[in-house]
């Protein structure tokens, strides 16, 4: 099976997730700069989640640039990834409603961890399907970043119980790690 429809469907879901979040930004009644202050935490969490979805889209885009075919398992693994990502707007709005509290930040971390796991599974299944394709094996074999980020998420979740800001910092480190997508893939394409 070709990858084009899987990509189109994923693009659609990610485009909606990224824009649904902006609907939680409600215009204040008053027309002053002060009226924007209570919206600020919602805005900050919108920005962070936008970046997160952006990172996933970019990496998903890279992952399927050199993938040539998919099977039924990959379709479901992709659906599984989209499921966890679709919970990000909920986690965002829960965090955004007040200053940082333990439970919502832990919850956000769990969603991020599960998204990471789902991406890892998807990655694995694509590798397995292209066993005979040497270039794909080379371009995708290195999964250290995936292991490291899953570990960091778990550490972040644990650190939330010390202080939620420590957890948030861990999630941020993972984000920065992934802003630059797989360089090996870009090399291969060239």
Interacting residue ranges for its own copies, rule: CB under 8 A: 1-2, 5-9, 11-20, 22-23, 25-29, 31-33, 35-36, 47, 50, 54, 57-58, 61, 64-65, 71-72, 75-76, 79, 82-83, 86-87, 89-90, 93-94, 97-98, 101-104, 107, 179-181, 186, 189
26 secondary structure, DSSP code: P
Nearer to its own copies, 11 or 147 (CB): 11
Q: Give the relative orientation of helices 164-179 and 102-129 as an angle to the nearest 10 degrees.
A: 30
What is the rounded CA–CA span in Å between residue 19 and residue 21?
Answer: 5
Backbone angles phi, psi at 99, to 5 degrees: -65, 165
Minimum CB distance to its own copies, residue 136 (Å): 16
User: For its own copies, which is the closer residue by CB, 85 or 170?
Assistant: 85
Between 151 and 184, name the residue whose CB sits nearer to its own copies.
Answer: 184
Residue closer to its own copies by CB (options 99, 144) is 99
Nearest residue (CB) to its own copies, 100 versus 151: 100
Shortest gap between Cβ of 23 and its own copies (angstroms)? 6
Q: What angle do CA 131, 137, 141 make, to 5 degrees?
A: 120
Q: How far is the CB of 7 from its own copies (least distance, A)?
A: 6
**Shortest Å distance, C-beta 141 to its own copies:** 20
CB of 26 to its own copies, least distance (A): 8
Q: What angle do CA 167, 59, 21 make, to 5 degrees?
A: 60
Task: Find the angle CA(27)-CA(29)-CA(30) to the nearest 5 degrees.
Answer: 110
CA angle 65, 66, 67 (to 5 degrees): 100
Collapsing DSSP states into helix, strand and coil, what is residue 133?
A: coil
């Amino acid at each position: 099976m070709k990858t084009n429809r899987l990509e189109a469907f994923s693009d659609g879901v990610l485009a909606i997730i990224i824009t649904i979040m902006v609907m939680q930004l409600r215009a204040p009644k008053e027309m002053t700069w002060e009226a924007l202050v209570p919206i600020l935490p919602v805005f900050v969490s919108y920005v962070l989640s936008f970046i997160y979805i952006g990172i996933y889209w970019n990496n998903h885009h890279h992952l399927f640039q050199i993938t040539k075919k998919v099977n039924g398992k990959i379709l479901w693994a992709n659906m599984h990834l989209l499921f966890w990502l679709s919970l990000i707007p909920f986690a965002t709005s829960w965090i955004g409603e007040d200053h940082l509290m333990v439970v919502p930040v832990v919850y956000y971390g769990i969603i991020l961890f599960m998204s990471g796991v789902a991406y890892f599974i998807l990655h694995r299944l694509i590798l397995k399907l292209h066993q005979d394709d040497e270039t794909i094996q080379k371009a995708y074999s290195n999964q250290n970043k995936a292991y490291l980020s899953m570990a960091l998420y778990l550490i972040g979740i644990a650190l939330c119980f010390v202080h939620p800001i420590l957890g948030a910092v861990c999630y941020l480190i993972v984000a920065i790690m992934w802003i630059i997508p797989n360089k090996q893939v870009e090399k291969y394409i060239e």
